[in-house]
Amino acid sequence: MSATRIEVAGERPYPVLVGEHLLGELPRLLGDGVRRVLVVHPGALAASAEQVRADLAEQGYEAVTAEVPEAEDAKTAQVAAFCWGVLGQAGFTRSDAVVGLGGGATTDLAGFVAATWLRGVRVVQVPTTVLGMVDAAVGGKTGINTAEGKNLVGAFHPPAGVLCDLAALDSLPVNDRVAGLAEIVKAGFIADPQILGLIEEHAAELREPDLDGGARPVLRELIERAIRVKADVVSRDLREAGPREVLNYGHTFGHAIEQVERFRWRHGAAVSVGMVFAAELARLAGRLDEETVARHRAVLEALGLPTTYPAGRWDRLLAAMRRDKKTRGDLLRFVVLEGLARPTRLEGPDPVLLAAAYAEVSRERAV
């Protein structure tokens, strides 16, 4: 099948290409005038990064690689400084570029490095996970973590383009694939209910270790639908001044889980519980019906994602949420639903409601 092209509009428009064997499109996205390219990648993708580097070298680029730690361990000031050092030693100028090859943490880091080197150079993202394709690599939000919280240091820096090469998903561990599906479920609840119907019909196939048969086209459709949801929102609000906040559905509580668990939880698993928390909070606040709350649990559990979190950790979770970048002063802010595909904000909810919502998600220990 040919590649699908999804345009992200705005002040700096760019394409997201979805298909298979797309690396031949990389020079076109890098654009004219680029001489040097840094390929940022985790160790597990060293062979793929070397292939990208060699392909770029054959086409006349001065290409170098920078191997960074896996997952959230890459998103630190120390790792960013290492990448800046590579750029400096290789003589990168403002007309050169960075390529982020890997999962969401790698693309977050690569985007941040590109945003901060010489106050901004071009970046092309090549996500290799479901999470990276539908969330982290699209939208221009870049960032690193600190000891105090996730993504507290960052910049808005749209990429020059995104290559979602679905062939990369063939070697992705099934647990990572399923965790990435949480962000697709999010897109279904906030904007595109057809996503939920597809998952309800094909959940068992999507959980299989191999993407054979009908699962492959279904996954592609889910990825494309989720990217379109994000592209539509980001096109209207790059800097999260208003509409873009809906993309944080499930993330306030989810990021708190990640912080309390010291990033031992997969992002998608934490967001899964975060969506159930947000749904329960909306129900308790009189915003959302019980049927839609129950559908959250049913869809997520059908994929094998967690919907509960252990009791006894509320104080730590609340402290983490108060440090979240979406908080304004002492006012906690949550994205909630008033119905299917009807997101809104809930600001400064009663602490009693927050504790009650936590009680609803902590009735059973998370699997």
Q: Which residue has the tokens 């979770």?
A: 317
Indicate which residues carry an active-site annotation.
119, 141, 183, 230, 240, 244, 248, 251, 255, 267
Name residue 36's amino acid: R
Question: Could you give phi then psi for residue 237, rounded to 5 degrees?
Answer: -160, 85
What domains are defined for the chain?
4-171 (3.40.50.1970), 174-210+217-361 (1.20.1090.10)
Give the pLDDT score at 366.
Answer: 39
Give the pLDDT score at 10.
Answer: 84
Instruction: Please provide the distance, in angstroms rounded to a whole number, between the alpha carbons at the two ends of the chain.
Output: 38
Average pLDDT score over residue span 276-283? 98
Average pLDDT score over residue span 274-296? 97
pLDDT digit string, tens, across residues 129-181: 999 999 888 888 899 999 888 888 999 999 999 999 999 998 899 999 999 99
Residue 110's closest CA among 185, 52, 33? 52
